[in-house]
Structure 1
């Protein structure tokens, strides 16, 4: 038993040793199969931003590549990150040498010009690819060939800005730049006055100060409505706030920003201001894959600690982050194509280059990659990205919308609106209800905020406004005349009014019938005759009581006199005859006959009225008739007829123009498909 047990123990120990050896061999095989590729990143840090956006995007890209094994199935991507101070070129050179000594396949960053030139020179000497994602002014005498810049070529962007100016047909443009590099980026536009009829005014934002309001005040005073801002997205966010405070966010202004991150800014306060705001967008957010990556980035950024206010939307991926992401993926894709390439340690003081450097940089320049910023094609001669697509975006009430595309391959503005991308692009605001509202608003002199654009509709609108102006003005004038018509204000309307007041004296002719009537009723200030009474009425506050026939006779010959009230008493005139006189009946019959024939009335009109005072005008305002306002209806009809002919002319002109554009577009498409 003991022997058997010992033999069993020995066999078990032998089996364990064999298993251990097999495990070690499998681990060695797996390690040899799983290769490691190291890349280096040099990033600047700021006091308020210890970790830059580019560094975050660099790590984000490496993590995604290692998680998704489709791009690098047999290789693990690692990185070495060095942080330097801003504009410290000496520190940048030292850190680059440290990374090259460690052994890296490519160096990413830094961003700013002085540090970039130092690192680029070292990488070129040791033939290690230097990957750049920020705009850098290329030197004329630059002979470095071991660098790649994924930022769009400045000359192509400058031509794109000029295309936008020509597309909107601006005749006067103000260029506002942040630093001297802005003038380099806009060379094509600055040279435009010598080739095109464009007036350009150049202004610079204040150096070392964020307060641009004095400059904006000068622009507002000078009525500079078309403005191009060349600045970073941080400066653009500050400028937008100051434009709003200066009252320049109106439909009269059109602001164009050359920054590629306009879409990432918080533009909510300006959506309903009516301002025209346009910019570029390099990020291809329409692509579902790009949208998925951007969403992952946003989720990680929203979970990170909050950062200082920069004007960006929370979690939004900027263009510099997208370019860094694409740069890492492009290097990873090129490394998979480059078989049997090993990374070695390099020393800056020995000047011994990497033996696989030329081969690797050639593969990087030949690689074509569809990334977050569209298709990436590098020019083999200068390492710049000259073939790219820029979306032209504009601020609408629903947010930033794509208008058309600027292609670096053809350098022509694609004027065809992307109908496939947007369900509703062109909308006619003049529906039936809005048209009625437009007419009623003009009639009520209130407006409707609907602005016709075509010449024919503007003629209709202008004629209608003129028609409503005349109608409302005529009605207002007639109403004012009716309300303010002068009426004689008589303080006395009857004899009873005379008895109740003491200001105006009154009386009658002595021994007359009127005096006899009032003798027992009221106290009269009597006069001796009618002539004396009339004179007293005209010179003093006096009222004369006399027979109605006498009043009528006198008032017809003196228009300053008038009769007040009706008859106080009625007594007729008669012709007296002796009793039994044969003439009584004859006179009576003659009087009745004259009265029936109207001769008495005719004689009264002749001798009483004669050529007396004219009839008083009516105190009421006359109504407006067709003869008063008929002319404006004729003008309205003529305007409508004119607008119909203009509309026909517009239709014919636009039809021919659209036909020409379609023919050109078809020709371009055929050429593109052919070549």
Structure 2
């Protein structure tokens, strides 16, 4: 019976410390009930992680199947165990709620005092400003709440409940409340069980009620993340078991982990002073090192899975925190790149199914404000418009009806929507733009070398050439300095010659224009001034021509049939439309600007309908040709970055912003708006946009265009016109030469005949 009593003393502590000083191996033994599978696994996983290079910790499970006396004493409660441990100076580590009011000096309790939960509930009631509330608690008569709920429903204006029950009873209570239609948006339930947040509350929250719970586990603590990883690894190795089904750490498991941590930290400190002793539960023997061990246990302070761990003189937790969690639902319209299905070879569920700009933004907001969220898609896949009776559909309707607490999507802030829901500050600014298909590129013509200058400039340049040549000839004829004697004139005025004949004047100007020059040089001041002005003119003109020539020879130009919204109104060949039942459609419908009014009339009367049910449908119609899609610039930029056949026409038709939607009077609005402003100030939102617009599949068209412009080569189609001009010039020169030869030959024959 000796061992039986000793194991009993540790049964509620879950641990018995036995040291082997020679090998520095510490055995941590535990005593669990046959049905406490979760406790066994949590204990095993917790002990396994605390061994060091100098100390090894090993776990040992003790069976109490045949120890009926032990079972009987355990069933009598914690106080009997504590009295036995106190009489033998055996330290006791409690991992269950202790409602005893009598202080014990030989035990520590990892759970928060029951008074702490009461204080939290009291503060919540004050914060919610409840004037009256109903407290429901679990008793020994079973888990049937339906009779009480039926009585409460018959009373008027009873909407606030505090429910004290275990986890199984909480689920049964919510099922009963759902059947009694007591989960509407006016109802608010506060649960005292510390593990309510691990339940799947989506079916109940979808009814619109408010659910508040208390959480003791610190999900952000590094030790919590480590124990979760180890539990997942254990589950993958050993198959399915009841601890880690929800993906969150239950309080019981976290407390066991912290209890093991407290004991191992103390054992490491006292490893050289601990001595193994046998304690007989049937006599008055004591463990002489027990008091020292307990004092060190109480002096231990660290950050564990349940937050800051520190004990007072009676072994009670103090200086700790408890988190208030709200069960929420989030309404989403799936629209790339804001919300998209995540591509994965594995089957995903819950929030893991989605990714996108809005998902990342919401995760950062939730991280800063310490709340959890559950995503569900809008049933009709639309943003929402009111009908003739003022009833809204889409994501706006789900907010109004209480089907969602928050709407996170590319939700445009406008006056009509702001009358029925609240918005956060804008997280992105944008406007309506025109999406159109890029026209086919036209290859350069043979005469593309003429393209840098317009036809008018070419004509004016030709006229300038003729006029300057004639003025040069006239000034040279008038100026005395241009008349000089040839080597045979011997100073006679009538024999002086002028080098600027009409032909030479034209030759001089064309030589300057072609940057080649000639042997003729002006002598007079007047002719030099004419030449200087002409040279300056040709310098500017040729430089401008050369600067533009490369671009016109290498770039295949695209000619757009429309360049603005006004161009759309003026023609009938290209049809245009918007997303059906969206803010863009509402903008044209309500606009008083003449151009937009005409566009709305054209869209409304068009058959078949030009309105589409999604952006992808609109883009598909654009790529088929003769259709322009009016959409918000943020999404337009996303698609243009990924499809080089698409382009934006003109600028923005208006200016607005995207915001997060809330029900009227939502308590979340102010906190989330402040978080958005902070994220904007820290450029986090800018980085998210760059991630989803540019880096995640974007930038294809920019890189392709850049590559082609760098490595472009001039083909015959680019410079063929120059060869044509050269051949025409050569042909003309040969023709003129033949003509001169024939003319000279004919003249010489006539002279010979005359001489004869």
Q: TM-score, normalised by structure 2?
A: 0.42
Q: TM-score, normalised by structure 1?
A: 0.46
**Greater C-alpha Rg:** 1
